[in-house]
Structure 1
Amino acid sequence: MGFAMVENIYYFVHVYADGGMEAWGTNVFVRSILFGLNHALFSSMTGLGIAIARMATNPLLRFAAPVIGWSTAMFLHFLHNFTVSFDNLLCLVAFIFDWGGLALTMVIIVWALYQERQWLRKYLVEEVQLGVLTLNQYETVCSGRKRSGHRFQTLLSQGLRPYWQLSRFYYRCSELAYKKHHFALFQDARNQQLIEDIRQDLTTLGR
């Protein structure tokens, strides 16, 4: 997004200098609204590839996923630049691909939130048995609505410091679930130690 901002400023200044206010207004609408999230879409493809590689147990997939994600980002950028270079219906192709890609990204985000909820339920129930979490804490952690409500109520009734401490507690709960999932895949000593460290942290934060 930093590159997109710099590029937009460059185009805004030069279009205004060359074409005046009317051309500037059109350029701002096209670059900031119509195609305003393009670079976020392109970057998300690379990020998706890295995320897949991080959770993959197959060595070939761990290598290939970031490359495929990066290549997809480059292809989408090329497709956008190619189609908008024509002043005809090909511009509609760019619009469909760009916003269609963003819609796909939103679907992935919703799926990821659902997957996170499943991991929280699966991996944190053991923490209740170990005494790291209470049953009430577990039920709240596993519900996005309850977490948000609890944080908001804490902010209003107790102020910023307890709010930030509670937010860190919920963040560490999510982190614990992710680390336990990662450990279940790879059985590595590093994540096992991180799991124990997070448990100690939660014991302190949850008091």
Structure 2
Amino acid sequence: MSAPVAVRVPRRSREEARNGLPAEADLTQPLPRRLLRSRMAWLTLVMAIAYAVCLVLLYRQVVPDQEVPGGVLPGLGREAVPIAAKYAAITAIPLSLLFLWADRFRPQRFWVWLMTFGWGACVATYVAAGVNTWAAGHLSIIGDGDPATGARAAIFVAPFVEEAAKASVLFWLAILMRYAWVSRLSGIVLAGLSGAAFAFVENILYYGRAYRYAARTIGSVSPEQALHQTFVLRGLITWFGHPLFTSMTGIGLAVALRSKSKTVRVVAPLAGFLVAALLHMSFNTAASLLSGTQQVLVLIFVAIPLVLGLVGFVVRQLFREGRLIRTRLGDYVRVGWLEPDDPQPLSRLRTRTRATWHALFAGPATLLATVRLQRTVTELAYLRDSMDRGLVDAAGQRRERVLLAQLRTLRPRAVITPVGRAAYPWLRLRRGAGRRAAVPAYAPPAFPGPAGLGGSFPAPGAAPGPTGALGQTATRYSEVDPSWKPPGE
């Protein structure tokens, strides 16, 4: 007996790697072996360790009291950190969920979201705190001088340092997974997550300092009041700062990745970073040099219009991406690889959400098939767009065939166009309780028969059934006796 032949999944070719196309996982191998051979799994482990180290170093730097020449520099204190974290989470959690909601057509993998948020919360805050402290020490004035120069570090150093620290993860992700950056929404979402995480940790520092200062100062407001005042200022009024600034870099980087021009690929990220630093610098300038009515005017006439402009841009991009997906799927309809009715429901967010909701109550297999089909058809549309733009060469045809094969497999089990209401469990129970037991029905009597025309008893040999025979089959004939003959013959 010959040994079974192992089926090997072909490795990613050099052309596919050059285009950033993903490699198909070898599902014949067990999951632990696939994880051990995955570069992303090892990179995630290394980055998680780096995040933990940065967080511990930042904690040791700002929480305990530090002995300095001439006295003791008070830290945040262990009792203030949990309280400050609760207030900081009030802003960070809804803001992060809002960015994840915006990433709807082709959402990134969970580990991408986790790595981005962890970078902004751990690495960016630690690096920015160290560099800002070092720069502030060199820019400080000893003796007589202009008091306004005390804000020079916040205005001229912090914007560039903090924006570079937050945006570094975006450039790393662009190098590792540029194929998944399909639109400007991808750049806004990832940049917003990094900015929201940075603001989360920074708010903990500000809230903790306000709480600790009020607790150590005699005659000041209570620690809770000081914390509330800082929370209203940073968590409710200026909550948009860091995500808004970093989104400019994300947009510039997304424009570069979707362009074939080398000039645009260089200029767009640099322009996005400079716009982010300029907005950050303007914000710090208004917070440091203005007060009272001036800050309110800047907030009303400058900050709020910028936030509304970004929200309008995101909504516009959602509609634009829907039209793009519908157009590119129409290319496959014209060649007969997709059904004519597929592009419309698969390019509308509302229909896709309803389909997922219906599949949720149809069973785990249907839900998984629906989610996978939506992701596959979206990747297929963006792959077609990349090939049309010239960003992916002929190597994309192999990935195209793989995606089309997956669609043929997933289509029979997935929900594409939801109709009516979902199959809620309580509706099934209600229908089951109101339905009576079925009574077997007999076929209507045929003429001639024992019951006669219009009789209510079945003819001999009639089998029970839901309906009677129709047309010529309704006439029944007796069996022919081959020995029959007329009498007397």
Q: Which amino acid aligns with 1:16?
A: Y
Hey, what does 2:251 align to over in structure 1?
A: 48
Find out whether 1:149 has 2:354 as its counterpart: yes
2: CA distance between counterparts of 1:123 and 1:24? 52
Q: Distance in 1 between matches of 2:365 and 2:304?
A: 40
Give the C-alpha shift of residue 173 in structure 1: 1.4
1:165: how far off?
Answer: 2.5
Structure of greater relative contact order (alpha carbons < 8 Å, 6+ residues apart): 1
The C-alpha deviation readout for 1:52-87, integer Å capped at 9, x for no partner, is 111222211111101111111111111111101122
1:90, 1:196 → 2: CA distance?
A: 60
2:213 corresponds in structure 1 to 18
Listed as ranges, the gaps of 5+ residues in structure 2 are 1-195, 215-222, 413-489
TM-score normalised to the size of structure 1? 0.89
C-alpha distance in 2 between matches for 1:13 and 1:95: 28
The Cα of 1:118 is off from its aligned counterpart by 1.4
Aligned to 1:192: 397
Deviation at 1:131, TM superposition (A): 4.6
> Greater CA deviation, 37-46 or 164-173?
164-173
What does the per-residue CA deviation read over 1:117-153, in whole Å, with 9 as the maximum and x for residues that have no partner? 2112211023234454333333311222221111111
Alignment-derived partner of residue 6 in structure 1: 201
Structure 1 position 41, deviation (Å): 0.8
Q: TM-score, normalised by structure 2?
A: 0.40
Report the RMSD for the aligned CA atoms in angstroms.
1.9
Look up the match of 2:268: 65
Percent identity of paired positions between Structure 1 and Structure 2: 26
1:158-191 residue CA offsets vs partner (Å, 9 max, x unmatched): 1344223312211221221111111111152343
**Counterpart secondary structure, 2:260:** coil
Residues 61-115 of structure 1: CA deviation (Å, up to 9, x unaligned): 1111011111111111111111011223332314543332221211221221121
Q: Structure 1: where are the runs of 5+ without partners? A: none
Corresponding position: 1:91 with 2:286: no
Q: Deviations over 1:10-32 (max 9, x none)?
A: 11111011132212101111211
Question: Residues of 2 paired with 1:78 and 1:54: CA distance?
Answer: 27
Q: In structure 2, do the counterparts of structure 1 residues 150 and 79 end up closer, same or farther at CA, with 3 Å as the change threshold?
A: same
**Number of aligned residue pairs:** 206
Larger radius of gyration: 2
**Structure with greater helix share of residues:** 1
Q: Is the 8 A contact 1:123 1:180 kept in 2?
A: yes
From the superposition, tell whether residues 14 and 153 of structure 1 become closer, same or farther in structure 2 (CA, over 3 Å).
Answer: same
Question: 1:114 matched to which residue of 2?
Answer: 319
Match of 2:409 in 1: 204
In structure 1, give the amino acid aligned to 2:201. V
Letter in 2 for 1:87: S
User: Does the 8 Å CA contact 1:132/1:203 hold for their aligned counterparts?
Assistant: no
Which range moved further: 14-23 or 191-200?
191-200
Q: What SS does the corresponding residue of 1:136 show, helix, strand or coil?
A: coil
Aligned with residue 340 of structure 2, among 113, 119, 135: 135
Match of 2:278 in 1: 75
Name the amino acid aligned to 1:135. P
Question: What is the aligned partner in structure 1 of residue 416 from structure 2?
Answer: none
